[in-house]
Structure 1
């Protein structure tokens, strides 16, 4: 009964307003009050501050500064094999596997279409027909910077406006088409094994989604789909190495990766609900 109430509240709450309020509050410097909130959050969620570049909680002037804290050097070794792909984020695997008949598994009893996820960008959809996908959920306690699983050259970025449902496991199990209806930033890269997509999915109280090449993508939330294309060389080209940071969430969320058919084999250690640490083995290039 309690779970049903939590899910129904997702439909009733003013998610846009709550998210704007949370983003505003998280960016404010409020002295002792900010430190009190940060300490309470870190204690409640058992955040491991020994991994942080700055473990002293009082060094963070805003909640956002704390939430996107960088890790100390060496805290996340990145697999360095030529054919090894690295996990992009700390969190847990929600689902992974084959894209079958144009559909991705969201949770037991729920799937969603590749076409909807990629906002009907059909040239992009065709690249991942019968491909593979992996969905990684970042909980509040996790490190919230997202890194490259492989060397990549950015070719296209889409901002897709949408809802701001929570993306926690309970919501994923009960809200149809969750990842295809939420706000998201879709990044298409060229890689040694073909195209690769990394999607940053927004959620309730995710105050901001950022990339290292464009800065803050959202807010503002204009409600209009936006598309950017990038050259492979010269001015404006974006080349990122495996393990380099590519984006971050200021509160919350989920990362979805897409790979072409027969391009990679996921690590057998990865299953639904497997914890992930950025830099560890994600997959092997075939």
Structure 2
């Protein structure tokens, strides 16, 4: 058994939510010496570049979570052309949605219906469209931005487990992104429907959005919120953030001509062009 498979298997019996909530409490401590020790240790271990931060002094943040979700300098992430990466991270997989399936890792596909919380009608919008997954490692910038301009129509909280979403786990835990707790954000764009799914993970203490504040942790059943008053976000505008690292899954109704220089597990930056805008097709012209 490989170390990666062993790491994946030992996660099954772990009380994911309890561990994540305990870490969450620690990440919100305002005990200065403890907070500063955590921040300094994190910067050293993960080699975080504080020169990009709007506030480069690591002791200036009130909590570890404030440091972790730090704002960058205005010119740190210039916006490219076409479809944008929503976050810093690794472009773990991308391509066409085929027969309701998206690629998680080699040998593992998962269902769009399951990803969207069992909503078959919503999943049909993306049949024949495209998707892309971006994994945020601990050292990355953890705010999530809009890949395209869009108007929010619905937000869906889907309960689930909190497996790690690093490459070791994605390679060995089937249906990982459709198992974990997640927040599905549905948008209308000029290129057709777009779903941006913020996937929770082990020790992710919370997921926030700019329109509703902190959403997770929740529990129980699927919860849907419709937005009758338009919430419009521009391309590249912040939409949410992770309190500790995770994954963003994007889905588009149209086909995306991805940049041919990209490959699975390519390092990308927020605002980097991933390719052209989705082909809206005749239904959305």
Provide TM-score, normalisation by structure 1.
0.94
Q: Output the CA distance in 1 between the equivalents of 2:274 and 2:15.
A: 37
Q: Secondary structure at the match of 1:255?
A: strand
| Equivalent residue number for residue 72 of structure 2 | 71
Structure 1 segments of 4+ aligned residues over 6 angstroms from their partners: none
Mapping of residues 34-49 of structure 1, within 5 Å: 34-49=35-50
- 1:2 aligns with 3
1:226 paired to 2:223? yes
| 1:94 alignment partner, SS class | strand
CA distance in 2 between counterparts of 1:4 and 1:113 reads: 22
Equivalent-residue separation in structure 1 for 2:71 and 2:201 (angstroms): 22
Q: In the alignment, which residue of structure 2 is the partner of 1:247? A: 240
Question: Aligned equivalents of 1:97 and 1:37: distance in 2?
Answer: 38
Cα deviation 1:245-266 (Å, max 9, x = unaligned): 000000110000001133x311
Partner of 1:62: 63
Deviations for 1:178-199, whole angstroms, at most 9, x for unmatched residues?
Answer: 0001000000111111011100
2:274 pairs with 1:282? yes
Which 10-residue stretch deviates more, 161-170 or 267-276? 267-276
CA distance in 1, matches of 2:73, 2:254: 36
- Comparing 199-208 with 106-115, greater Cα deviation is found at 106-115
Shift of 1:224: 1.6
Deviations 1:124-163 (A, max 9, x none): 1110012111000000000000000111000111000000
In the alignment, the residues of structure 1 paired with residue 156 and residue 260 of structure 2 have an alpha-carbon distance, to the nearest angstrom, of 31
Q: Size of the alignment, in residue pairs?
A: 277
User: Of residues 75, 94, 109 in structure 2, which corresponds to 1:96?
Assistant: 94
Q: Hey, what's the Cα distance between the residues in 1 that align with 2:232 and 2:222?
A: 24
Match of 2:187 in 1: 189
How far is the alpha carbon of 1:2 from its aligned partner? 2.8
How far residue 269 of structure 1 moved from its aligned partner, in angstroms, is: 2.4
Q: 2:283 aligns to what?
A: none
Residues 135-150 of structure 1 correspond to what in structure 2 (within 5 A)?
135-150=133-148
1:79-228 residue pairs with structure 2 within 5 A? 79=80, 81=81, 84-219=82-217, 221-228=218-225
Distance 1:138 1:57 in 2: 20
Task: Name the Cα RMSD after superposition.
Answer: 1.1
Distance 2:29 2:158 in 1: 27
State the secondary structure of the residue aligned to 1:16.
Answer: helix
What are the superposed Cα offsets for residues 38-88 of structure 1, whole Å, 9 maximum, x if unpaired? 011011101111000011111112110110000011100112x5xx12111
For the Cα contact (< 8 Å) 2:116–2:123, is it kept in 1? yes
Name 1:259's counterpart in structure 2. Answer: 252
Change (3 A) 1:137 1:189: same
TM-score normalised by structure 2 residue count: 0.95
Paired residue for 1:270? 262
CA distance in 2, matches of 1:118, 1:137: 18
The 8 Å contact of residues 192 and 254 in structure 2, kept in 1 or not, is answered as no
